[in-house]
Structure 1
Amino acid sequence: MSDRVSRPPQLPSRIADLVAAGIAEGRWKPGERLPAEQALADAYGVSRNVVREAISRLRADGLVQSRQGVGAFVIRKQGTGVLRFDAEALQDGATFRNLFELRAILEIQTAGLAAERRTENDVAAITDAFRNMQREVEGDPGGVDADLAFHRAVARAAANEQIARVISFLSDQVRETIMATRTRPGSSVSEVIAVTIAEHGAIHAAILAGDPAAARNAMATHIRNAASRLGFTLAV
């Protein structure tokens, strides 16, 4: 079983707060790269997975920007408020329901737009993320990253910069819901992964076919089923 199941759920938030404090104190200035994940893990006595989630939360808060193959860079000074979801609040069922309702409002219509507007590059990005999901094995955190990459690619395919920005922010919060659906007590992780991949496959096929109605229906089914796996009903 992975460490994300057994560790205290607030640990990534604590590490994110420590790094954010370092940024506020000027330890890492705008434009500077944060230490590598392993260096931060060693410094704070946690796993790299915890650090990775902490960086995701800092990215969602607008404090850092990740550059593929390079690392995370500080992108702004603290001082202004940012939209965020409290990590501890995400342990509450009502907050999960609210987050799923927000996902439904945004992502169902976005899937339809993606089917209408996708380019060849968009199709390639969505397909690549889906294939990475298909290669997922139980307990591999990379599968969660591929899932998030899929949703971001669909958002970009909608050809609406504002939608893409909001869903990019939301995807870091969605990480919590993905992990929760896969680690819920009494559920089989391998079965959940298989069903989730099938749901994304339907979204993928509809977008590739250029069928907006089918894409919206497939995304609605995915979000509704994901909510059901957490134990509540979502009317979408």
Structure 2
Amino acid sequence: MSEPIRVLIHGASGRMGRALLRLCAQAPVLAVAGAVSRKPAQRVIDGVPQFAASELSGVPAFDVAIDFSRPEAFDRVLALCVERGVALVSGTTGLGEDQRDALQAAGARIPVLWAANFSLGVAVLAELVERAAHALQGWDCDIVEAHHAGKQDAPSGTALALGAAAGRGGAQPRYASLRAGDIVGEHTVQFATVGERIELVHRASSRDIFARGALHAATRLAARAPGLYRLADLVA
């Protein structure tokens, strides 16, 4: 039996980080090398070494990092992956232009995957949105997204990715955001004209779908050659 893939969870105290740790423990092909958060409560939790963000450079060896943190923490984990020559899977949203440029540059040295959403359903939705925008030239295009009250960026990264898909089809999307309760994630792309309207909708009822997608991507990305990858490249 081959050795498990060693995973570093960056942003371990967040909703996604906690889901990743729980699901990773159930996956024999994966082993958590360490968990990084701003202020861990203990040094070891359920057998997993815990590190503060300030201790990132001292984490043990790993094969792939999974990052669901904040933009201000992203630069350091990207730099660490480049320094150690290991893969990075990131779902951190709200990145600035310089950070996106750094991602592009890192792809020349390590395998990198950034996605606004790790749901296969959303990947299919983006394709449908692009096709609809191409077919419905001149129709109004609006993207409405809803997330839990604690989500800070708006529009969401997924909404912006769907808007980019609409833009590739020739539409000019507008955005509306709702932050309330514990909504996991809902995205509606509406095309409207006089007398008719089309809605394409994706609703997530569990954050586990995103964590499972990220773990699946990590298992596939760890052994890949350097480059920039899409979730669709690693699904099959």
Q: Same fold (TM over 0.5)?
A: no
Higher helix share: 1
* TM-score of the aligned structures, taking structure 1 as reference length: 0.26
* TM-score of the aligned structures, taking structure 2 as reference length: 0.26
Higher strand share: 2
